[in-house]
Amino acid sequence: MTKRATLFVAAFLIAVVSPRPLHAHVLDEYLQATRIAIARDRIELEIDLTAGASVAAQVFARIDGDGNGQISPHEIETYGKRVLQDLVLDVDGRSYALRLTRAECPSWPEIRDGDGTIRLQAVGEGVFAAGHHRVHYANAHEPAMGVYLVNALVPSTRAIAITAQRRDVQQRGLDLDVDVAVPLSPVVWTLVSMAGFAALFVYRRRPGTPEPLAAR
């Protein structure tokens, strides 16, 4: 087989195995990635929305209410609140109302090329009592063109532990098992501190305890 024929066969096999360009799968999709952070008194959501090039104009038109090609703070805030209406967040079957705390939108050229990411932040406020809880999140925004990712962040305190995570196949929904430890009251913390100081004092007073070396 000649070198030219070999190259032709190789190109044909690549075309059969990879019928679409490597990045073609994102062109007609609206990627929606959510990160969930759990604290004692709230649940915070960070949502990144990135439109593929072939649906960018459609997404931009939903945000640009007056059609002037520019996104104002009011327009992206309005759109962010619309996104939140399509989200579900509940704890132990009780719905958490979400409040938008941040909404940022890139320029039209960035969105048009599929490189711009809309960034939203929201918070649901409510106290987690000590014990076991079930947190449920679901995203139903733009299901016709949406693809989804969802992850829970590691809690910033050891008093909260995520013991299990369950996603659906499309990652539109996430269920979390969360254990919350009993918080120590200020009185308990004071007693623990006093006990520690007392133990150190007794140890230092024991006969035969070496004295610290003096600085030379």
Range of the domain at 147: 20-180
Judge whether residue 216 has pLDDT over 90: no
pLDDT digits (tens, 9 = 90+) for 47-101: 999 999 999 999 999 999 999 999 999 999 999 999 999 999 999 999 999 999 9
- Is 196 a member of any domain? no
- Is 56 a member of any domain? yes
- Is 128 a member of any domain? yes
Q: At what angle do helices 56-63 and 73-85 cross, to 10 degrees?
A: 110
Facing residues of 136 across strands?
A: 90, 175
- Is 199 a member of any domain? no
Report the distance separating Cα 71 and Cα 124, nearest Å: 26
- Is 185 a member of any domain? no
Could you tell me which of 35, 46, 43 has the C-alpha nearest to residue 135? 43
Domain tally for the chain? 1
- Is 51 a member of any domain? yes
- Is 82 a member of any domain? yes
- Is 214 a member of any domain? no
